[in-house]
Structure 1
Amino acid sequence: MIIGTIIVKSVAMLVMFLIIIITGSVPLRVKKFRENKKILSIFSAFSGGLFISIGLIHILPEAGEDFDKYYNSVEHFPFQMLIAVISFSLVLFIEKVIGEYLTHHHHHHHYSNDLESQQQDQQINENYLPSFEIEDTIESKQSQIKQVFEEIDISLSKQDDNNKINILTPFVLQIALGIHATLEGLAIGVEQDFSKCLTIALAVLVHKWAEGLVLGLALKQSKMNLTRATVMVVIQAIMNPMGICIGWALSDTGYLVNGILMSISAGTFIYISTQEVIAQEFSKNRYQIIKFLFFLVGVGFISSLYFIEQATSSSS
């Protein structure tokens, strides 16, 4: 099955690269880009079931087996669990602590500057208002006051636009997605069993369209120029193949390294499924029943592969 795993890893690198290039470029280059929210939600819920099952049913137990082989089946601390939790925590820290801090700081900076400018403009206008002659009619004064408030409204609308267009967001998003993609590729590259390698690769491929689409939409909303946005999409497309190559190179280094790498991958898969897919998708109050059904289909699909692997290995 060595040739089979080589084929799976090679094809996975090429297909993942192309998926990110295509899905990441669609929001940037198609002017009338429309998304079918129902289909996207269903696929997202389905991929959530795939990812959490891959992490808990396939990768984590295999990491435990590698540690057992390294310690010659002697009772030992469940290192695979600890490393998975550390991996989960690291991605959580990068995305929710560092990422949120940088994004909030950027928004706050824009808000403070715009608010100060707004207050200064309002103060200037207020200073000018009393300078009108007393003989002016009430209608004239009301017209001037109305103009002041219209200028304030324009300032507020500009402030909202600046808050929406956060230049920093796509960079933070790409760092997070790049780490995920590399670790996902790592799980494929380090796997030496053909059926498990194929299962993980298929699960990641099902999720890749969403990764490229999210990055492309973020780049489009940030008003980044097309050339720079295209470069960022290409960089993201390289991350999965790079992770596969790293895992592939380290796949023959022994049970300990394999166990550590698989544990890291398991923690990442569990984080993606729980924090980025399941939590976010089911927080949207739409298509809940059908999404839950497809989530269960994803869990059932990965679970059934375990029994197929067992039947195949026993018959051979």
Structure 2
Amino acid sequence: MSLLISKIVSMFGLGLITWIVGVLPILGVSRGWSLKILDQSGKKVLVYSMLLCFGGGVILTSCLTHMLPDVREIYLQSLKEGSFPDTGLEIPEIFVLAGFLLIYLIEEVAHIVLDKCTQAHRDREMSLKDKNENTEKEQGGGGGGHMNHGHSHGDIHLDESNSFEAVGRGFLVILALCIHDLFEGIALGVASQESAVWFLLLAFASHKWVISACLGVKWSRSEIRPLVSVLYISTFCIVSPIGIGIGMALTDPNQEGELMNASLIIVQGIATGSLLYVTFFEILEKERQKDVSGIAQAISFSAGYVFMVLLGLAEVHSEQEEQSVGGGNFTIKPFV
């Protein structure tokens, strides 16, 4: 029951809290509240970057010390039971790389589609602007009033184009993040130990809350309408709980053992690969492009790694103490 409770808490932590963190800047700016603490300028950009790098270190350590070993353990157990074919290949690592390449391919396709849509809309707006200017020149003969009127319409069309591009870029960001978050949720949902659930919750929340706050601040000051921004944030927040639910369904004890083991090997391997992609391309690569201290970023990333290693040591010592108490010379008899 405690494992189930930890996963339900994770749903609220990655869903509701993330939504509050993301929507608060949007509502604050639209209603004129003072949100200087979330202003992305100066030293605050460094703080955001360090928090994201810390989350990256936590995610990378979780992938290599918790998720990948779990996939290999399930794989070896399935081989021993004969429920998974022995191909002689390193199946866990193959599925991890498949997840990595899958997310890479999906993001590139999404970029191509959005760029084409944005360029087509921009061409239509520029063509309409040129057509309006030519029509006004023919009708007004260069009159000042008509030229000013045409210039005003030209500005409106350009603003609409910029707004469309902002909405399109926001959609691309949400699409990429939702793909990542879905696999993150699945990875947490298929966890078989309560401690692993809490570790993964810490890993995902440490960067998802920061990303949500940064997106909220960015979109609150962009040309995207507040309603669209809230819709994007809501979509970003709901995907992780959905992924957790999918993972819990895959680990349903009522399922057949062979099917469950095979699905766990495939899904958790792909989820691990997708998180490795997030760490290297969505966190490290983008954060290193910012005009902030690289040393501070490296220290924050290393701090996330050290933090997870220390948590792992604490977990091991706790398990050893429980085993020594249970297997010692003294027997604790229950009260009758």
CA distance in 1, matches of 2:148, 2:101: 48
SS state of the match for residue 72, structure 1? helix
Which amino acid is the alignment partner of residue 56 of structure 2? G
Q: Distance in 1 between matches of 2:263 and 2:77?
A: 12
TM-score between the two structures when normalised by the length of structure 1? 0.81
Is the alpha carbon distance of 1:153 and 1:231 closer, same or farther for their aligned partners in structure 2, counting shifts above 3 Å?
closer
**1:311 offset after TM fit, Å?**
2.9
- Aligned twin of 1:194: 194
Q: Cα–Cα, structure 1 residues 107 and 312, in superposed 2: closer, same or farther, change >3 Å? A: same
1:1-316 matched pairs, under 5 angstroms: 3-31=1-29, 32-33=34-35, 34-35=38-39, 36-72=44-80, 76-98=88-110, 100-120=111-131, 155=154, 159=158, 162-163=161-162, 165-166=164-165, 167-217=167-217, 220=220, 221-224=222-225, 226=227, 228-251=228-251, 252=253, 253=257, 254-315=260-321, 316=323
CA–CA distance in 1 between the matches of 2:300 and 2:12? Answer: 28
Distance 1:96 1:217 in 2: 26
Equivalent position SS for 1:261: helix
- Give the drift of 1:20: 2.1
* 1:131-151 deviation digits (Å, cap 9, x = unpaired): 79xxxxxxxxxx98xx97997
Preserved CA contact (<8 Å) 1:184 1:265: yes
Q: CA deviation at 1:164?
A: 5.7
CA distance in 1, matches of 2:149, 2:290: 36
Q: Percent identity?
A: 22
Counterpart of 1:137 in structure 2 is: none
Aligned residues: 299
- The worse-fitting range, judged by mean Cα deviation, of 254-263 and 82-91 is 254-263
Q: 1:125 to 1:17 in 2, by over 3 A?
A: closer
User: What CA distance in whole angstroms lies between the structure 2 residues aligned with 1:232 and 1:90?
Assistant: 23
Closer/same/farther in 2, CA of residues 119 and 274 from structure 1, 3 Å limit? same
Greater alpha carbon shift after TM alignment, 292-301 vs 35-44: 35-44
Question: 1:110 touches 1:163 (CA, 8 Å); kept in 2?
Answer: no
Question: Structure 1: where are the runs of 5+ without partners?
Answer: 133-142
Aligned CA distance change for structure 1 residues 150 and 298 (closer, same or farther; 3 Å): farther
Unaligned ranges ≥5, structure 2: 324-336
CA-CA distance at 1:88 after TM superposition = 1.5
1:83–1:214 distance in 2 versus 1, CA, 3 Å: farther
Distance 1:295 1:160 in 2: 40
Q: Work out the CA distance in 1 between the residues paired with 2:100 and 2:152.
A: 44
Question: How far off is 1:296 after superposition?
Answer: 0.7
Q: 1:246–1:41: structure 2 CA closer, same or farther, 3 Å change rule?
A: same
Structure 1 counterpart SS, 2:115: helix
The structure-2 alpha-carbon separation of the partners of 1:154 and 1:30, relative to structure 1 and needing over 3 Å to count, comes to: same
**CA distance 1:23–1:165, shift in 2 (3 Å):** farther
Distance 1:295 1:157 in 2: 45
Q: CA deviation at 1:193?
A: 1.5
Q: Report deviation, 1:51.
A: 1.3
Q: Deviations over 1:276-312 (max 9, x none)?
A: 1111011112122111101111112223333333333
